[in-house]
């Protein structure tokens, strides 16, 4: 796992190195769980840093523009940033619950059918709870109901 010089327990998602499975290796062993724990923590740290940047940006850029169009543009920009941060806040909660799930033997297995989700899918979306097939069926059902 890549590490930064300040904290040996975390790494940046930008420095991500895919997990190399060994032949005959047991699925979701301790080494794999540690890999995903590090990936989740790095993702959460990056989201938290983005929250801090947004707060600083909004404080620094807040101005009372005399022109109503400028004021409206700034308010719209802040509104979009806050909506994005709200989505990220929900993602952070999902990352936290997934990190807790790593402590159990349920992480990495599909909630619907129980098969292995797979290392590569989990690396693409560490919070995934469905295998590709069940997720595809879920999306088809959603499309049929939602139109």
* Each residue's pLDDT tens digit, 15-58: 778 999 999 999 999 999 999 999 999 999 999 999 888 888 78
- What per-residue confidence (pLDDT) applies to 59? 79
pLDDT band with cut points at 50, 70 and 90 for residue 14: low
Rounded to two decimals, the pTM is 0.78
Residue 108 falls in which region: left (phi positive, over 0), alpha (psi -120 to 50) or beta:
left
Question: What domains does the chain contain, in order, with CATH numbers?
Answer: 27-107 (1.20.120.910), 108-147 (no CATH)
pLDDT of residue 10: 41
Average pLDDT along the chain: 87
Per-residue pLDDT at 136 exceeds 90: yes
């Amino acid at each position: 796992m890549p590490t930064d010089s300040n904290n040996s327990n975390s790494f940046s998602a930008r420095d991500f190195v895919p997990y190399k499975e060994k032949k005959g290796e047991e699925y979701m062993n301790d080494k794999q769980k540690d890999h995903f724990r590090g990936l989740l923590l790095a993702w959460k740290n990056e989201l938290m840093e983005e929250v801090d940047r947004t707060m600083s940006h909004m404080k620094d850029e807040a101005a009372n523009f005399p022109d109503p169009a400028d004021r409206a543009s700034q308010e719209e920009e802040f509104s979009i940033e806050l909506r994005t941060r709200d989505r990220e806040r929900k993602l952070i909660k999902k990352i936290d619950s997934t990190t807790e799930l790593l402590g159990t033997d349920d992480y990495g297995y599909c909630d619907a059918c129980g098969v292995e989700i797979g290392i590569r899918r989990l690396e693409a979306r560490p919070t995934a709870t469905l295998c590709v097939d069940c997720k595809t069926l879920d999306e088809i059902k959603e499309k049929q109901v939602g139109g």
